[in-house]
Structure 1
Amino acid sequence: MREVLTTAELIDASAGDPMIVWAGQGFRPGVRAWYDGAAVAVAAPELSKRDRLAVAGPVDSVARLAAQAFAEVGSEFRPFGDEQLIRDLADRVPGLSFSAAFGWMDTTVLPTLPTTAAWLDGDTGVEALLAEAAPSSYAWPGRPGVRRWAAATGDEGELLSIAADAWSAPGVGFLAGVATLPVARGKGLSRQVCGFVTAELVKQHGRAALMVDHANAAAIAVYRRLGYTYRHVAAAHL
């Protein structure tokens, strides 16, 4: 097993896997990564609300890496990767339990749909909208890694639909905090805001990504229309 020290080394070790590159977060303070042959593990604290251990590769090698990672960074880090890998890993690592399956979606396509959405100058009104429309959102103003918010607004400038640039990394921008007021739903505003943020992330990073509940068919359909493709992923915990 060898430790990875740079984003370029991580890209090589993971064959450019965007989920692994995203977890690397440009090796901000606290991030560590290792590889063992074709297996890779990245420990990233406070990444999309959790301390995450992103993993990829053959399950036996990943199990060895995970054990070493837990020994070095702590057992609070939650393994995260392709769904079948996480299920297999939970069968091999003592004390590791499967938590949940969900979706990772990413795109390199630049959406070109018409939109009135724009970046906000600050985050005034964002917390109130999230509290009403998406209280379980991982992205909130002031949380580590949440950088800026975009919105579609009403005639008087009130926020109707929002999305955030949060936990973006070199090579992979990240879309989160998507929410639309109930009274404004069904008007295509979420697609406009997500399309705007996606285009901005692709222009800046070359790729945009997000995570989505696998049961949220409406959201997945919106993201597919914006050019995103779906990947089955999951998480586990000790």
Structure 2
Amino acid sequence: MSGAVRDAVPLVRDVLAEAGPAYRPFGRAELIDAVVRGVPGTRAGGPPFLRMETAERPGPAVGVERDAVPLFERHFPESYAQPGRPGVRRWAGVYGGGGRALLAVAADAWSAVGCGFVAGVLTAPGARGLGLGAAVSRFVGDALVRDFGRVALMVDAAGAAAVAAYERVGMRGVRSGPPRSVEYAYLSGGG
């Protein structure tokens, strides 16, 4: 919550009357302290926490995005979705080998109103067949369905293993024309 104490105190009283004691307002520490003093039966609870923010870009790639660079250079240099390319927003990955080796990645790339887009799905050759590509695609796809209502991706229709992995995630394919034998797959919210 934010605003003036004179407005927050009656608001919290009304909300507590309706929502019950499980309601926990959050706000600046000074405002919470004033509300606790002004609303009988309330108390400050737990240790304080920080809300952190910035308007600055995060700088050089870190974590999964950084670790994906050599994976793409060696095993999928023709991918449109690669770390640092325009439109590629965020990455998810699966690590193995004691957390040192990036085994599979997928990105949120070129998502738009009404449809998230999974791209840059890559599994290291030694980790293929373990379901890691499907797992990371499911993770990214789930987030994109929550954010956009549905999710889509493009896959080479001749890549039977990739098509099967995406089908296990719940994607359904729609045949598309050139280039090559690309297939468009999508998953709507709710399955």
Pick one of 151, 158, 165 that aligns with 2:101: 158
1:137 paired residue number? 79
What is the TM-score of this pair, normalised by structure 2?
0.58
Within the alignment, does 1:194 sit opposite 2:137 as a pair?
Answer: yes
After TM superposition, which residue ranges in structure 1, 4 or more long, deviate above 6 angstroms? none
Q: Aligned equivalents of 2:139 and 2:64: distance in 1?
A: 17
Pick one of 120, 141, 148 that aligns with 1:205: 148
Instruction: Render the CA deviation track for 1:82-110: whole Å, top value 9, x for unaligned.
Output: xxxxxxxxxxxxxxxxxxxxxxxxxxxxx
Pick one of 123, 128, 150 that aligns with 2:70: 128
Query: Aligned ranges for residues 1-238 of structure 1 at < 5 Å?
Result: 121=63, 123-154=65-96, 155-235=98-178
Q: Aligned equivalents of 1:192 and 1:202: distance in 2?
A: 15
What RMSD in Å do the two structures reach over aligned CA positions? 1.6
CA contact (8 A) 2:117 2:153 kept: yes
- The residue type paired with residue 130 of structure 1 is F
SS of the residue corresponding to residue 209 of structure 1 reads strand
Q: Aligned equivalents of 2:63 and 2:125: distance in 1?
A: 24
What is the TM-score of this pair, normalised by structure 1?
0.47
In structure 2, the CA distance between the partners of 1:214 and 1:122, relative to structure 1 (3 Å rule), is: closer
Q: CA deviation at 1:144?
A: 1.2
Q: CA deviation at 1:132?
A: 1.9
Instruction: Render the CA deviation track for 1:138-197: whole Å, top value 9, x for unaligned.
Output: 101121101011100011332110011000001100000011111111211111101101
SS of the residue corresponding to residue 119 of structure 2 reads strand
Unmatched 5+ stretches in structure 1:
1-119
Instruction: Render the CA deviation track for 1:177-232: whole Å, top value 9, x for unaligned.
Output: 01111111121111110110111111111100001111011111111111111111
Instruction: Render the CA deviation track for 1:40-98: whole Å, top value 9, x for unaligned.
Output: xxxxxxxxxxxxxxxxxxxxxxxxxxxxxxxxxxxxxxxxxxxxxxxxxxxxxxxxxxx
SS of the residue corresponding to residue 65 of structure 2 reads coil
Paired residues in the alignment total 117
Q: Aligned equivalents of 2:85 and 2:77: distance in 1?
A: 14
- The residue type paired with residue 87 of structure 2 is G
SS of the residue corresponding to residue 90 of structure 2 reads strand
Q: CA deviation at 1:121?
A: 4.6
- The residue type paired with residue 76 of structure 2 is A
SS of the residue corresponding to residue 128 of structure 1 reads helix
Identity rate of aligned residues, in percent? 50
- The residue type paired with residue 66 of structure 2 is T
CA contact (8 A) 2:66 2:83 kept: no
Q: Aligned equivalents of 2:64 and 2:164: distance in 1?
A: 30
Higher strand share: 1
